[in-house]
Amino acid sequence: MDDIFHREMWGGMVPVCFNLAEKEVTRMEPPPPFFGLLPRMSYLPLSTEDVRTLFASSAPALQDEMWFEFDGVPLKWNIPIGVLFDLFGAPLPMRLTVHFQGFPDQTLLRCPNVFTIRAYFMHSLKEACCLRNGNAKAVTNLPQAEANSLWDAVVSRKSDLFLRLRDAMFKDFASFDRLPVRIYLSGFGAELDFKPIQVRVDPLNAAGEAHTLESFFRELAPGLILAVDGTRLPNTEYLIQGISPPLNTPILWLVEHFWHPDQWLYMAVRKIK
């Protein structure tokens, strides 16, 4: 059942409508919008080459890198696509503006090629491994051929291959004794929005009971969803893989079933306007 569950997770898609930025149209008429489905588990630069090709004849020469924005906010390519969608709570399809000029250096990391994405992914995987096992040996000791296969599985979204490689990679280490959780915020202000909050969560609390979403938000992330007294804060919501699991859901179960390929459990927490 878990394998079926993970295949469903890896098959999740976000409907998107791309439009070339109005000020960058170089023809008399703007090009028609481009509709597509983007994998929730992937990153924007891995899934948008068709967008570059379709808009190139109607846009100025590409300066630096192509980039995207939603509702005036530049989109960070290093945040998984599904997490970005959850952070904005956008109506479907999510309407993205495509830019060929004016790369916002102060806001976005540069991504000149696919090797940059791979390096970021492997670094993120190492971070999760360190939190989980106390070191990154499971990743750093991975033979190059297996590391290449692992990345190929991510790019091609082959969940079965990835699971086999991942299970072999972690076979000599404790399983989920410490849980890597990464939270992104939206609507909390420029100092907090779209910056990762990384937390290591033990499966059990001090009383030996399973850590749940409720105890997580109350004890480890106070003030996000729950107040100190445990009451639900107004105008906020949390999403994990596009849904809001009940607050009594164990964190361990969520990590085992909702993990991303870099082995993090991602939570999107946003204030509702």
More confident residue, 272 or 64: 272
Q: Which CATH fold topology does 114-169 show?
A: Serum Albumin; Chain A, Domain 1 (1.10.246)
Q: Give the residue among 153, 154, 218, 221 at the shortest CA–CA distance from 181.
A: 221
pTM of the predicted model, to two decimals? 0.94
Q: pLDDT category, 206, cuts 50, 70, 90?
A: confident
Q: What is the CATH number of domain 11-99?
A: 3.10.20.620
Q: Find how far residue 111's CA is from the centre of its chain.
A: 16
Q: Is the CATH number of domain 179-271 3.10.20.90? A: yes
Instruction: Write the pLDDT tens digit of every residue in 144-192.
Output: 999 999 999 999 999 999 989 988 887 765 556 789 999 999 999 999 9
Common-topology check for domains 11-99 and 179-271? yes
Structure confidence by residue, pLDDT tens digits, 71-111? 999 999 999 999 999 999 999 999 999 999 999 999 999 99
pLDDT number for residue 172? 61
pLDDT tens figures, 209-245: 999 999 999 988 989 999 878 889 999 999 999 999 9
**Residue 136 near residue 130 (C-beta atoms within 8 A):** yes
Query: How many whole angstroms separate alpha carbon 224 and alpha carbon 212?
Result: 15
Beta strands 94-99 and 179-186, pairing class: unpaired
Instruction: Decide if pLDDT at 34 tops 70.
Output: yes
Contact 248, 164 (CB under 8 A): no
